[in-house]
């Protein structure tokens, strides 16, 4: 999984590098293995990239050495390699970054490197490469953006703050105040921004839109747009469906709702929790589980990453609401913390379990990391839960409110 971003500045070029770094920081959770930026400075492309998170790679970065009107940025987990990649070939030079697997990235580079005209090269890439990708190419006072299927998101908009111009990014909400989202690139579309003008071309006949279900469930920021709706609104709708399903479980067991308190897994379940509370009638408290704000030294046990507020969870049945379950390690850890702070029992609520690695490289998890294929009762026991509630694929799609064919759900099957 990778994230990409680009800026074309009409004014405020001295701030472009810092703005790209901030956009990277906002997308850093999607790729913590490496990051980098490339800026076109006075006719040549300068770049910085390195292994690690944004704060470590750019901790001593001097933006005054990287002033220009165009720039691109890249975050990567292990699937994408270290980018941007800068190519200098005689008089021609360009920088390139992609949200794609390493194998697909190499294929894209081989096609682009054989063509002098970059727009023709990107058009050929769209025709030739079937696996999902989104890419940015920086050259000749222009940025070319393209995506070949809906699984790799790419949006563009206007900048109205210190920087006046355009932006392109994997996520619509990463440019901060002054950014106006205009549209998502359609599958098979190429966008060229040059000298203040924008040209959109449909290179492929409009393929069926196929969005990655995980982009919606946990990869996208709550304020981003997906299918015309804010992600937070969709997640609340899913939470409401989960609340109704959990209510059926409560009634079947003869439990009292007043015995329960629901809370979120930090950095994962807030909007699901809000929706869950609306439909279930169970009291919610988003602050019952607290995440340590400071880096944990290596010698400190991982259980110290989280803490429970005893006065909230003691003598209650605690419902932990999370976005997704991969390995279940975090859910198990927090369940143990709740019990050690006096909770009577702990119940898990989540959208789904992930059963298979993504065949298109979205995520760095592998088969052995995933708990979802085990029997339901075994998962509950392994995670130390009194119950675990999640939606079927059909219930999930119904809660999202889109036709089934729009979403790729191969990892859930």
Q: In the predicted model, what is the mean pLDDT of residues 164-188?
A: 86
The alpha carbon of 43 is separated from its chain's Cα centroid by a whole number of angstroms, namely 33
pLDDT of residue 208: 65
Which is nearest to 132 in space by CA: 287, 389, 362? 362
In the chain, what's the furthest Cα-to-Cα distance? 76
Cα 118 from Cα 111, distance rounded (Å): 10
Cα 192 from Cα 120, distance rounded (Å): 12
Q: Find residue 112's DSSP bridge partners.
A: none
pLDDT of residue 210: 75
The structural domains of the chain, ordered by start, are 2-207 (3.60.20.10), 229-412 (3.40.50.2020)
Cα 2 from Cα 196, distance rounded (Å): 28
- Give 145 or 53, the one with higher predicted confidence: 145
pLDDT of residue 80: 54
The neighbour count for residue 362, using CB atoms within 10 Å, is 25
Which is nearest to 354 in space by CA: 382, 328, 380? 328
Q: Are 179 and 163 in contact (CB under 8 A)?
A: no
How confident is the prediction for the chain on average, in pLDDT? 87
pLDDT of residue 299: 45
Q: What is the pLDDT of residues 9-32, one digit of tens each?
A: 988 777 899 999 988 888 766 667
pLDDT of residue 300: 45
Q: What is the pLDDT of residues 316-334, one digit of tens each?
A: 999 999 999 999 999 999 9
Q: Are 76 and 33 in contact (CB under 8 A)?
A: yes
pLDDT of residue 348: 97
Lowest mean pLDDT among 69-83, 249-263, 279-293: 69-83
Bridging pattern class, strands 345-353 and 387-389: parallel
Q: In the predicted model, what is the mean pLDDT of residues 335-354?
A: 96
Q: In the predicted model, what is the mean pLDDT of residues 386-406?
A: 88
Question: Encoding tokens for residue 399?
Answer: 């809660």
Lowest mean pLDDT among 116-120, 262-266, 299-303, 313-317: 299-303
Q: What is the pLDDT of residues 121-175, one digit of tens each?
A: 999 999 988 888 999 999 878 999 999 877 888 999 999 888 889 999 988 878 7
- Give 78 or 115, the one with higher predicted confidence: 115
pTM: predicted TM-score of the whole model, two decimal places? 0.83
Strands, E assignment, 361-402: 387-389
Most confident of 102-106, 150-154, 227-231, 249-253: 249-253
Helices (H), 117-210: 118-128
Cα 331 from Cα 93, distance rounded (Å): 48
Q: What are phi and psi of 177, to 5 degrees?
A: -60, 145
Q: In the predicted model, what is the mean pLDDT of residues 181-210?
A: 85
pLDDT of residue 79: 52
Q: Find residue 310's DSSP bridge partners.
A: none
Tell whether the model's pLDDT for residue 226 goes beyond 90.
no
Q: Are 184 and 155 in contact (CB under 8 A)?
A: yes
């Amino acid at each position: 999984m990778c994230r990409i971003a680009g800026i074309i500045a009409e004014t405020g070029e001295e701030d472009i590098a810092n703005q790209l770094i901030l956009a990277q920081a906002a997308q850093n959770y999607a790729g913590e293995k490496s990051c980098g930026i490339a800026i076109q400075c006075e006719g040549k492309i300068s770049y910085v990239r390195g292994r690690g998170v944004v704060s470590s790679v750019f901790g001593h970065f001097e933006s005054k050495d990287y002033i220009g009107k165009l720039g691109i940025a890249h975050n990567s987990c292990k699937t994408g390699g270290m980018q941007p990649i800068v190519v200098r070939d005689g008089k021609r030079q360009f920088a390139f970054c992609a949200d794609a697997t390493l194998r697909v990235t190499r294929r894209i580079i081989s096609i682009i490197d054989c063509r002098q005209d970059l727009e023709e090269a990107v058009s050929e890439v769209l025709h030739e490469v079937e696996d999902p990708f989104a890419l940015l190419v920086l050259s000749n006072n222009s940025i070319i953006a393209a995506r070949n299927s809906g699984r790799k998101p790419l949006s563009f908009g206007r900048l109205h703050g210190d920087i006046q111009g355009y932006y392109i990014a994997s996520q619509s909400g990463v440019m901060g105040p002054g950014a106006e989202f205009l549209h998502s690139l359609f599958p098979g579309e190429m966008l060229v921004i040059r000298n203040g003008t924008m040209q959109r071309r449909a290179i492929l006949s409009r393929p069926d839109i196929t969005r990655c279900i995980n982009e919606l469930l946990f990869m996208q920021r709550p304020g981003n747009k997906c299918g015309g709706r804010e992600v937070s609104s969709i997640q609340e709708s899913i939470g409401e469906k989960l609340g109704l399903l959990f209510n059926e479980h409560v009634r079947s067991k003869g439990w009292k709702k007043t015995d329960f308190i629901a809370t979120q897994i930090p950095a994962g379940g807030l909007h699901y929790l809000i929706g869950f509370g609306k439909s279930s009638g169970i009291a919610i408290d988003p602050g019952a589980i607290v995440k340590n704000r400071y880096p944990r030294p290596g010698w400190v046990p991982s259980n110290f990453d989280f803490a429970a507020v005893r006065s909230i969870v003691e003598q209650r049945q605690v419902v932990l609401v999370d976005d997704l379950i991969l390995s279940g390690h975090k859910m198990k850890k927090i369940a143990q913390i709740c019990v050690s702070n006096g909770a009577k029992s702990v119940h898990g609520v989540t959208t789904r379990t992930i059963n298979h690695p993504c065949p298109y490289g979205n995520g760095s998890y592998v088969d052995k990391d995933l708990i979802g294929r085990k029997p339901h009762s075994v998962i509950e026991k392994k995670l130390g839960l009194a119950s675990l509630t999640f939606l079927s694929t059909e219930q999930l799609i119904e809660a999202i409110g889109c036709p089934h064919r729009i979403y790729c759900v191969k990892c859930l099957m």
